[in-house]
Amino acid sequence: MEIIKLREEYIKLGQALKAAGFVEDGVEAKIEIQSGNVLVNGEPDLRRGRKLYENDIVSFHGQEIKIEK
């Protein structure tokens, strides 16, 4: 599980995927998110700009990101 430490109040979903190294760039993040391949707290979310806060869990092709403060 990848851990992302928040510097601000939140991080956007596309940025979190890039920070964890799961995607190369914003275009790839957008395609993966809109294809339904990304789950936030167990639910599909099709918004690249979805705000992630402390304790959110992102799942992507069997890998996970946890958001921490």
Per-residue pLDDT of the chain (69 residues; tens, 9 = 90+): 999 999 999 999 999 999 999 999 999 999 999 999 999 999 999 999 999 999 999 999 999 999 999
Q: How confident is the model at residue 32, as a pLDDT?
A: 96
Domain ranges of the chain: 2-68
Which pLDDT value is given to residue 47?
93
Q: Residue 69 carries which DSSP code?
A: -
Take residue 54 and report the two structure tokens written for it.
């402390």
Q: pLDDT value at position 1?
A: 92
Do residues 33 and 13 touch, judged by C-beta distance below 8 A?
Answer: yes
Of 65, 66, 60, 56, residue with least CA distance to 33: 60
What global pTM score does this model have? Answer: 0.92
pLDDT of residue 37: 96
DSSP-assigned letters across all residues of 21-62:
TSSSSHHHHHHHHHTT-EEETTEE---TT-EE-TT-EEEETT
Tell which CATH classification among 3.10.290.10, 3.40.1160.10, 3.40.50.150, 3.30.479.10 matches the domain 2-68: 3.10.290.10
